[in-house]
Amino acid sequence: MLAALSVRDIVLIEAARLEFAAGLNVLTGETGAGKSILLDALGLAAGGRGGGRASVRPGSSQGSATALFEPPKKHPSRGLLADQSIPCDGEIVLRRTLSADGRTRAYVNDEPVGVTFLKDLGAALLEVHGQSDDRGLFDNATHRALLDAFGGHEALAEEVASLFAAYDTARIAADDLKRAQAAAAADADYIRQAVEELSALDPEPGEEETLASERALLMNAARIAEDISAASDLLSGERGAESALAGALKRLSRMSEEARQAASAAETVLEQAFALAEEGRRELDALLSRLEVDAGALEKKEERLFALRAAARKYSVKPDGLPVVLADFRDKLDALDLSGGKLKEAEAAALHARAQFMASAMRLSDARHAAARDLEKAVESELKPLKLGHARFRVAFVECDPTAQGLERVAFEVATVEGAPFGPLTKIASGGELARFSLAIKVALAEAAPPAALVFDEVDRGVGGAVADAVGLRLQKLSQTTQVLLVTHSPQVAARAERHFRISRKGSKTTIEQLDGEERLEEVARMLSGAEVTAEARAAAKRLIAEAAPKKPRKSRV
């Protein structure tokens, strides 16, 4: 529900705070007092446009509107907040500031948000029915879900959506295989040739780098062998390092025991040096033996290296990427050989998934048509008491391609003149009729998919007497399941309110008062009699209020 609305420096309102009841809340007052300003401020807080009627009060640099909501625990608005990682301990506070130059800033639970998100969140919390509203009932995109909720077949709708997702996945898989088979078939000869060529080449990762290194070594083999041989001679020749170190160790070994103990550290280092020199010589000899190969070794390595590089250029990859290319071509060849069987399996799976979806979707269509007839009867039963007995209401179905929502689009349509064609609510109904049509449909839908709060702007406009009483009765009935807020000039409607606010204008300022007891009685009497409140008007007002008192306890909305 909408718990409170705070407005500061908007149009004629300097500062105001309204705390609403859970049921029917009414705003009354003389024409021009500023009742619609409050609704405009509420719309601003819920993501409506800034500027226009909701503008900054003259002399102020900034205005603001703050709406405090207390929706049920499982209300969709909480999911929207979770998607944006906005904390929510229970209350949802929408705040909008408006500067004198028309710029606005939006906040949800004190977190700055974009106006688009604020509008989406506001639409989930608040449904406005007036002459220019284009959301809620007036948005055809909501009609299918409203009908499903009214018919109580949301679970079937969810099943249809799930089966469509499975069918769509199977269909895409079959289409992908079909495209792959067609592409593979078109390139079959090329693929087989590539597999044969690369399989014969048998490239290995890192092979190109190894061959390049060995080729460079072999190309300079003579000069390198000469240098290595000289280095080996310096180690192992008669006057080489090994001989020198061996001689030194031999001299040390001839010393007395006491002298050897004194030179033990030096002897250990020399032994290590001798071992390292010997190991170095062996490594040099091994390298020298590698260089002493037949003259054809360089040519073989060059041929292999050039073959790898040529294949890499042909397939537009680096030489190290050739094994991956070979594996890819082998997969394509396998797909080409096996795709016929796999494609048949995939197509069969897609057909089975489609059959399951269509069976469920057709059950949903039948359920929707049955629910549509019930809704049409329910709405039509509400039209005559609302002075719309000449009007007709229907739920229109338009077949469409299968989607996750089923096999049809749904639209609520009306015809206000006998013999006239049906059309959308906003294009067919006039301003006063529009709000009453909304009320009739909302009463019929009852608990189907209620928002946190419903707002009606002068739903009783242009009616009085028994029709106004019928409007009030239906608003009171609707408020048993959904909080209702409305601007009214009808005493029959105001008498049924659980909370009554009077809007008045004093000079250049608008003031708001919550009325109770005698004050409320006086306001209803004023609405009955006009400027001069008579004793008869007070008595009639007292009777209206007593007769309008609700007879049943409110239904829980949690």
Mean pLDDT of all residues in 166-172: 95
- The answer to whether residues 230 and 342 touch, using CB atoms and an 8 Å cutoff, is no
Q: Where in the chain is the domain with CATH 3.40.50.300?
A: 2-135+450-548
Six token digits for residue 95: 């705040």
Q: What is the pLDDT of residue 552?
A: 56
Across 431-481, the runs of DSSP E, i.e. the strands, are: 453-457
Q: What is the pLDDT of residue 314?
A: 92
pLDDT digits (tens, 9 = 90+) for 110-156: 999 999 999 999 988 888 875 445 456 777 888 998 899 899 999 99
pLDDT digits (tens, 9 = 90+) for 468-501: 888 888 888 888 888 999 888 889 999 999 999 9
**Percentage of the chain exceeding pLDDT 70:** 89
Residue 557, pLDDT > 50, answer no
Terminal Cα-to-Cα distance of the chain (whole angstroms): 10
Q: Give the integer Cα–Cα distance in Å for 558 and 545.
A: 28
8 Cβ partners below 8 Å, 6+ apart?
A: 14, 15, 16, 63, 64, 65
Residue 292, pLDDT > 70, answer no
Mean pLDDT of all residues in 252-273: 86
Mean pLDDT of all residues in 233-243: 78
More confident residue, 247 or 296: 247
- The arrangement of strands across the sheet holding 104-108 comes to 13-19, 2-10, 62-69, 92-99, 104-108, 111-113
Mean pLDDT of all residues in 205-211: 88
Residue 184, pLDDT > 80, answer no
Sign of CA dihedral 291, 296, 299, 303: negative
Q: What band does 188 get if pLDDT is binned at 50, 70 and 90? A: confident
Packing angle, helices 517-529 and 535-548, rounded to 10: 110
Least confident of 215-219, 343-347, 397-401, 465-469: 215-219
346 Cβ partners below 8 Å, 6+ apart?
A: 170, 173, 174, 177
pLDDT digits (tens, 9 = 90+) for 15-73: 999 999 999 999 998 877 778 888 889 989 998 865 556 688 888 999 999 999 998 88
Which of 169-178, 286-295, 422-431 holds the top average pLDDT? 169-178
Half-sphere exposure of 296 (CA within 13 A, CB side): 0
Q: What is the pLDDT of residue 525?
A: 92
Please state, in angstroms and as integers, the Cα–Cα distance from residue 293 to each residue in 47, 145, 183, 318, 552, following that order: 85, 84, 49, 30, 108
Six token digits for residue 300: 């073989």
Q: What is the pLDDT of residue 134?
A: 46
Q: What band does 291 get if pLDDT is binned at 50, 70 and 90? A: low
Residues counted in the chain? 558
Q: What band does 383 get if pLDDT is binned at 50, 70 and 90? A: confident
Q: What is the pLDDT of residue 130?
A: 58
Least confident of 102-116, 156-170, 419-433: 419-433
- Secondary structure letter of residue 139 according to DSSP: -
Mean pLDDT of all residues in 408-428: 84
Q: What is the pLDDT of residue 534?
A: 85
Q: DSSP letter string over 75-87?
A: -HHHHHHHHTT--
Least confident of 76-85, 243-252, 336-345: 336-345
Q: What band does 558 get if pLDDT is binned at 50, 70 and 90? A: very low
Burial 35-48 (b: 16+ CB within 10 A, else e): bbbbbbbbbbbbbb
Q: What is the pLDDT of residue 268?
A: 87
Q: What band does 344 get if pLDDT is binned at 50, 70 and 90? A: confident
Residue 517, pLDDT > 50, answer yes
Residue 293, pLDDT > 60, answer no
Measure the CA angle with vertex 479, ends 49 and 32; round to 5°.
Answer: 45
More confident residue, 213 or 406: 406
218 Cβ partners below 8 Å, 6+ apart?
A: 291, 293, 297, 298, 301
Q: Give the integer Cα–Cα distance in Å for 271 and 444.
A: 105
**2-135+450-548 CATH:** 3.40.50.300
> What average pLDDT does the structure give for the chain?
84
Please state, in angstroms and as integers, the Cα–Cα distance from residue 33 to each residue in 14, 230, 501, following that order: 14, 112, 12
Mean pLDDT of all residues in 350-366: 96
Residue 93, pLDDT > 90, answer yes
Q: What is the pLDDT of residue 169?
A: 95
In this structure, the strands spanning 406-415 and 392-403 are antiparallel
Q: Which amino acid is at 522?
A: E
Residue 540, pLDDT > 60, answer yes
Q: What band does 556 get if pLDDT is binned at 50, 70 and 90? A: very low
